[in-house]
Copies of this chain bind each other. A is one copy, B any other.
Amino acid sequence: MAGGKLRVGIAGIGTVGGGLVKLFADEKSRLNEKMELVAVSARNRSRTRSFDISPYKWFDDPVELARQPDIDVVVELIGGSDGPAKRAVEIALARGAHVVTANKALIAVHGAELAGLSEEHGAKLMFEAAVGGGVPMIKALKESLAGCRAQSVAGILNGTCNYILTEMEHAGRSFEDVLADAQRLGYAEADPTMDVGGFDAAHKLTILSAIAFGARPDFEHVRIEGIEGVTLTDIRLASKLGYRIKLIAKGELIDGKVSMHVRPALLSFDHPLAAIAGSLNALVVDAEPVGQLTFIGRGAGEGPTASSVASDLLDIAEGRGGPAFGRPLAQLADAPRATPAERGRFYMRVLVEDKPGVVAALSDRLAHENISIESFLQMPAYGEPAVPIVLTTQTCTRAALDAAARAIESLDAVTEPPRVMPVEEHGSRRPPWSQR
C-alpha cells in the first residue's frame, strides 16, 4: 500500500473490466478514496477501447500482473475454471494479495482449494460479481443472513436462458429462432452450451449453496438440465394451465443434506420468480427466522457486474469481508449429498395421434401408478397428424411418474417420449394439506 491506498491490478479488461476501469476513471467515485488502479492486463494491448488504459502499467500476461509485489489487490476478470485465471488467482493469494473475481466457474470448481490458500496467506478472496451480476446475493447470504438458518435458495441465475424463455413466450418463437437472434445480438455465445445447458447457472448455484448451507462448494453434485428441450408448445400450453416455464437453480437442505439442481420447471404465475422477465436475475431465499427474501436485478453486463466488483473492493479497503464462503474452510461441512426421494407435482406433455381411446389409455397408465391428474388440456388438432396433450399431476413421486411415462411411451398412439418437468412450489403459498 503506497500512500495508504490499496494498489489494484485488473487482469482482463473486456466488458466488466472496462466498466471497472471507467469507475476508477470517475474522480468522484468512492473507489478512488481508498484505492488506486495501477495495472491492467489483457490479450491485446492495441485493441480499440472506449476507455483509456495509458495511465496504467500494462501486462501481456495476467500471471505476471498477479506476481507484482506492489499490487495489493488482483481483480481477475479473465474467466474459465482453469488456465491463466486460476494461475493468476493462486499466485496472488499465495503472496498474500487479495483477490476479487467474477469467475463463477473457477469458484464453483476450485473454491474450497482457493479459500484454503486465502486463509493460509491472510489474503481475502471475494466474488460477489460471480453470481447475479449486480444483485448482492453473496453478501446477503454471507452477512445479512449470518444469524439465520437457510432452508433453500432458488433463483433465476442465467440471463441468457431467461431472455430466451421470455422471448419465446412473448413473441411466440421457437427456441432455435430466439437463440440464433440472441447470438447475433451478442446476448448468447457462439457456443451456447454453458448458458442454455444450465452449466453457468449450476456454477452460480454451487457458490450460493455453499454459503447458504455452510458446506464446501461441490459443483459435481449439481443435477443439471438445460432449456434445449423446452418447446413453444410447452410454454403455450403450460401458460393455459396457469404456469410459466423458467430455468430454476435450486439448492435446499433435506434432512441436513444438500440437494442442488438446475432444471426447467413450471411456476404458477404468482410465484415470486414467475414475473422475472428478460435478462433479469433473481434469488429467493427461505431462512429461519427471517422468512422469505427476494432479490432482483440485472444479472450481467458492464455496469452491474463492475458495481459488484467495486463493492468487493470497498469491502476489502474498509476492512470488511470475512472468509470466502462466510465461514472458515474448516467449519464448512463436507456437503453430505442428499438423494431426495423426489415428490411433488409434475407437468407432462405427450404427443399423440388423434384417435379414440387415447385419453382413456393415458389416464389409465397414470392411475396404475396411483397418480391423480390435477389439470388436463388437449387442444384441437387442426388437421395435424399428432396433437399435444399436457397435464399436471397431483403430488406423487418422481419414480411413479417415470414409470407411468414409460408405460405411456409404449402406447401405440404416442409418437415420442413424454416430456416431464416439475412444478416448482412456492413455499409460503402451499396449502397445509400438501406437505411433502
Contacts and interface: CB of A to CB of B under 8 A. Distances in A.
A79 to B, nearest CB: 20
Listed residue (A23, A272, A287, A289) with the most chain B CB atoms within 10 angstroms of its CB? A289
A134 B136 CA distance: 15
B293 A295 contact: yes
A359 interface: no
Nearest to A146: B314
A314 B143 contact: yes
A247 to B, nearest CB: 20
Contact of A320 (B147, B313, B322): B322
A30 B303 CA distance: 34
Interface string A84-102: 0000000000000000000
A144 interface: yes
Contact of A303 (B143, B288, B313): B288
A272 B314 CA distance: 29
A302 interface: yes
A116 to B, nearest CB: 20
A296 interface: yes
A251 interface: no
Contacts of A144: 128, 136, 139, 308, 311
Given A139-B143, A310-B146, A320-B322, A292 B298 contact: yes
Contact of A311 (B23, B128, B143, B321): B143
Contacts of A30: 146-147
A197 interface: no
A76 to B, nearest CB: 17
Contacts of A314: 143, 146-147
Nearest to A306: B289
Nearest to A282: B294
B23 A289 contact: yes
A380 interface: no
Interface in A297-322: 297-298, 302-304, 306-308, 310-311, 313-315, 318-322
A86 to B, nearest CB: 26
Integer count of this chain's copies in the complex: 2
Contacts of A313: 147
A415 interface: no
A296 B275 CA distance: 14
A290 interface: yes
Contacts of A19: 289
A136 B147 contact: no
Contacts of A297: 290-294
A134 B22 CA distance: 34
A183 interface: no
Interface in A159-184: none
Contact of A318 (B291, B303, B322): B322
A136 B145 CA distance: 9
A39 interface: no
A295 B298 contact: no
A169 B338 CA distance: 43
Contacts of A318: 322
A22 B149 CA distance: 14
Contact of A148 (B293, B310, B315): B310
A296 B322 CA distance: 25
Contacts of A22: 289
A332 interface: no
Task: Give the 7 A-B CB pairs with smallest separation, nearest first.
Answer: A147-B310, A289-B303, A136-B144, A290-B307, A134-B290, A294-B296, A293-B297
Given A290-B298, A320-B322, 6 more contacts: A134-B293, A147-B314, A148-B307, A275-B275, A292-B298, A293-B295
